[in-house]
Amino acid sequence: MTTGLSDTGGNRFELMVQSITDYAIYMLDPKGVVISWNAGARRFKGYEAHEIIGQHFSRFYTAEDQATGVPALALYAAEHDGRFEAKGWRVRKDGSRFWATVVIDPIRDPAGVLLGFAKVTRDLTERRATQEALRASEERFRLLVESIIDYAIYMLDPVGTVTSWNRGAERFKGYKAHEILGENFSRFYSDEDRIAGLPSRALHTAEREGRFEAEGWRIRKDGSRFWANVVIDPIRDAQGVLQGFAKITRDLTERREAERALDEARDAIVQTQKMEAIGKLTGGVAHDFNNLLAVIVGSIDLAQRRIANGGDISRYLDNAMAAAERGATLTQRMLAFARKQELRLQHVDCTALVRGMADLLQSTIGSRVRIETRFPLTLAPVHADPAQLELALLNLAVNARDAMPDGGRIIIEAEERQVAEGERPDLAAGTYIRLSVVDDGQGMDAATLERAREPFFTTKGVGKGTGLGLSMIHGFAQQCGGSLTIASAVGDGTTVALWLPLSYADAVDPPAPPLDIDETAGRPLVILAVDDDDLVLMNTAGMLEELGHTVFHARSAVDALLMLEQSMFDLVVTDHAMPGMTGAQLADEIELRCPAMPVIIITGFAELPLHASRRPRLDKPFKQAALADIIRTVSTGIGNPTESNPYGHHAD
């Protein structure tokens, strides 16, 4: 068998293998007994050579794998199929585990008789390219390296001349050993890379830093290109003198092509997905908001008729206000889905929260469904937004009810769970409260379960919801640092679990409740109200006037600046989303012209520009008490009104 190594190259060949420390490469006899051991194997597995040579390699497998005969199956597959490759947990000497990819190749003599196996292990826990390091006789090293066909492993002299060649290199690059030995390895690089000096730079980096790793295009003998992962390690003798380099190449072309095809497919359908999503969102949101508008319009119409006759209209006003507040809640849920809703994370007692909303839950889902709660005697608080958590539980309860058209039972339960490092890809290691809503309804099939958290997906029919429920709950859980899981089967009901992290001492305290209007009332101010929407401007001005302030109107930022030049005000209250110049930009301009002038920005957006986030803001929709409260806070410290504006006289 041609090895591509001269007789005088044996020591250098052995030095090459000895210098590789990122791959565990060793030999087994036909029965799986370890007969050679290298530095990489010692580094990964923790055994010295005298501790492991003569022992069976199955001790590297977990107890579960040993019980099911995985080591023997691996050798059988390698012998009969010519190769075995797998990923799984392996065990070090100290009992710790590491995730590894393993390749086993059979070693045969020229007559085809099985001599043993070459085993290559790569530690993927650190995602580092493994380097093969061998400790065995010259012939064992030759047989071991030549039996590996999935890695190109060869040696370079200090200037980059190829001095050894294995079957993997022949397979990847197309050159026979006699065709490439003595040639410079730069011929594997493209013309552009050679002109840029990449081959020599790779060797200098490996020599200087002890290792070089990169991915890029490489050239085969026939001129075709393949995408490769390359690792170069310097080879030094006992005195530290550079003898050459060990070079390991892996062909990643198929993986790269698969990723590229996936990207192209995703780009090809993204526009269609956008249009479909817009259609579903429009229909669902229109349905929900039309219901709310029907209540508001109907209640106001009835109130107008009653007030003309001197009747009591309080009931209709209450109905209109309740519908408007539900609309605000729907908007908040949609912002939570977009993960732009500003959560107020704090300590939340799940037991008390569920107990406090018991009446709401029961009245919402009706009398045909029974609610049970199962909580431990003590339960640590979670780190969450209580309002959003209530919405999430209410949404899950409604979904559970809809899955039981003939009635049934809903169980709300909680338990403390530990998540270890790497146990869950969606959760960091730590302690969580698993808050679950369980129903004994129809359940979901595999296809429905797969799409359950998909935005806009709903089984309730067209126009009967936005299809954002579970997506928004999932987004909320992730914002809290947790996750959402769903377990279901047809006929066996559904369990939806919110995994929420425990709350610790640094959690944000609950915000203080808003003060009554009477408590927030201060001295009368002269206020400039700015909004491009006449209805909103009239409403805001009306609230301000009811609070006893004098209000002037501006329908754009430009008008506001003109009025500020001509008159004097104590405070500016402006909408953010205005054409031409936004409220945040208006506030910046006012700060330049009149640094002492306070500005309150009213916005329906969850986020303001970063530079404007420090300014006082009031989120839409708001009530008069909230407006009074922020004015009281902002106006504290306002001195003589005549000193607030340098432009001119006080507004007439």
Final residue of a structural domain among 445, 474, 501: 501
Q: Domain check: are 642 and 546 in the same one?
A: yes
Run of H or E residues at 458: none
CA dist., res. 572 & res. 561, Å (int): 11
Q: Examine the domain organization and report whether 119 and 170 are in the same domain.
A: no
Q: What is the mean pLDDT of residues 90-117?
A: 91
Give the pLDDT confidence of 591-605 residue by residue, as tens digits: 999 888 999 998 876
pLDDT, tens digit, 9 for 90 and up, residues 506-518? 444 445 454 444 5
Single out the residue in 199, 227, 251 at which a domain terminates. 251
**Which residue's structure tokens are 């979901």?**
444
Residues 521 and 471 in one domain: no
Is residue 38's pLDDT more than 80? Answer: yes
Q: Is residue 6 part of a domain?
A: no
- At 248 the pLDDT is 87
pLDDT confidence of 317, banded at 50, 70, 90?
confident
Q: Does residue 135 lie in a domain region?
A: no
Is the domain of 468 the same as that of 584?
no
Q: How far is the C-alpha of 13 from the C-alpha of 149, rounded, in Å?
A: 18
Residue 117: predicted pLDDT? 94
Whether 245 and 264 share a structural domain: no
Question: Bigger pLDDT: 435 or 334?
Answer: 435
Q: Does residue 4 form part of some domain? A: no
Please say whether the beta carbons of 580 and 554 come within 8 A. no
Closest among 527, 434, 416 to 483, alpha carbons compared: 434
pTM over 0.75: no
Q: Give the pLDDT confidence of 169-209 residue by residue, as tens digits.
A: 888 888 888 888 999 998 889 888 889 889 999 999 999 99
Q: How many CB atoms lie within 10 A of CB 97?
A: 13
Count of domains observed in the chain: 5
- Examine the domain organization and report whether 247 and 265 are in the same domain: no
Range of the domain at 83: 21-130
Same domain, 64 and 178: no
- How far apart, in whole angstroms, are the C-alpha atoms of residue 74 and residue 88? 12
**Contact at 8 Å (CB) between 92 and 59?**
no
CATH code of the domain covering residue 529: 3.40.50.2300
Of the pLDDT bands very low, low, confident and very high (cuts 50, 70, 90), residue 425 is: confident
- Give Cβ neighbours of residue 344 (< 8 Å, ≥ 6 apart): 385, 387, 508, 510, 511
> Are residue 350 and residue 496 in the same domain, yes or no?
yes
Q: Is residue 136 part of a domain?
A: no
Would residue 495 count as lying in a domain?
yes
Strand order in the sheet with 97-108: 84-91, 97-108, 114-123, 23-28, 132-133
